[in-house]
C-alpha cells in the first residue's frame, strides 16, 4: 500500500478514469476516451454485489489483488455497500486503488489483454 501511495504522490497528474465495476456486464462510458494521464482520483461506484473481485475503468479490466473479497456467501463483507459502494478510484499504470468513506482500501491490478469480466455475477 505504501509503495502505491508513494507512486501516486510521485507521479502527480491525472488519469481520467471513468468506469463501471466488478463483474457487471455493462458498457464502460470511458472506453472511447483519450489516453490516461497518471494520478487523478475520481468518484467511482464499485460493484460489490457478488463480492469485490473486478472492475472496469477507462476501457480496461482490473482484478483485485489477493482474489475476491466476500463474506463467504458471495456478498460483500459487512460494512460495504451492496450492490455498489461509493468511493474514489485512482489508476497509476497497471494498478488501481479504490477507497471509500468507511476507510476501505482495495488494490486492483490490470488484466492485460482482457476483453471482458472473468466472471459474471448473476
CA distance 86 to 107: 15
Residues 93-122: tens digit of each pLDDT = 899 999 999 999 999 999 999 999 998 887
Q: Across the chain, what does the average pLDDT equal?
A: 77
- Return the closest-CA partner of residue 31 out of 50, 17, 15, 47: 17
**Any residues with CB less than 8 A from the CB of 104 and at least 6 apart, and which?**
79, 80, 85, 87, 98
Q: What percent of the chain has pLDDT over 90?
A: 60
Label residue 71 by pLDDT band (50, 70, 90).
very high
- The C-alpha cell at 86 is 461509493
Label residue 39 by pLDDT band (50, 70, 90).
low
pLDDT in the model for residue 105: 98
Q: What percent of the chain has pLDDT over 70?
A: 68
Residues 3-28: tens digit of each pLDDT = 444 444 333 333 333 333 333 333 34
Answer whether 0.75 is exceeded by the pTM: no
- Return the closest-CA partner of residue 93 out of 1, 21, 11, 9: 11
Amino acid at each position: 500500500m505504501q509503495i502505491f501511495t508513494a507512486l501516486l504522490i510521485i507521479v502527480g497528474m491525472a488519469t481520467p478514469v471513468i468506469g463501471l465495476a466488478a463483474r457487471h456486464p455493462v458498457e464502460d462510458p470511458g472506453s472511447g476516451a483519450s489516453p490516461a494521464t497518471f494520478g487523478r482520483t475520481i468518484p467511482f461506484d464499485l460493484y460489490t454485489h457478488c463480492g469485490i473481485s473486478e472492475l472496469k475503468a477507462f476501457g480496461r479490466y482490473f482484478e483485485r489483488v489477493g482474489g475476491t473479497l466476500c463474506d463467504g456467501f458471495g456478498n460483500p463483507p459487512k460494512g460495504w455497500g451492496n450492490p455498489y459502494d461509493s468511493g474514489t478510484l485512482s489508476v497509476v499504470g497497471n494498478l488501481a486503488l479504490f477507497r471509500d468513506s468507511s476507510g476501505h482500501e482495495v488494490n486492483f491490478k490490470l488484466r492485460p489483454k482482457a476483453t471482458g469480466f472473468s466472471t459474471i455475477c448473476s
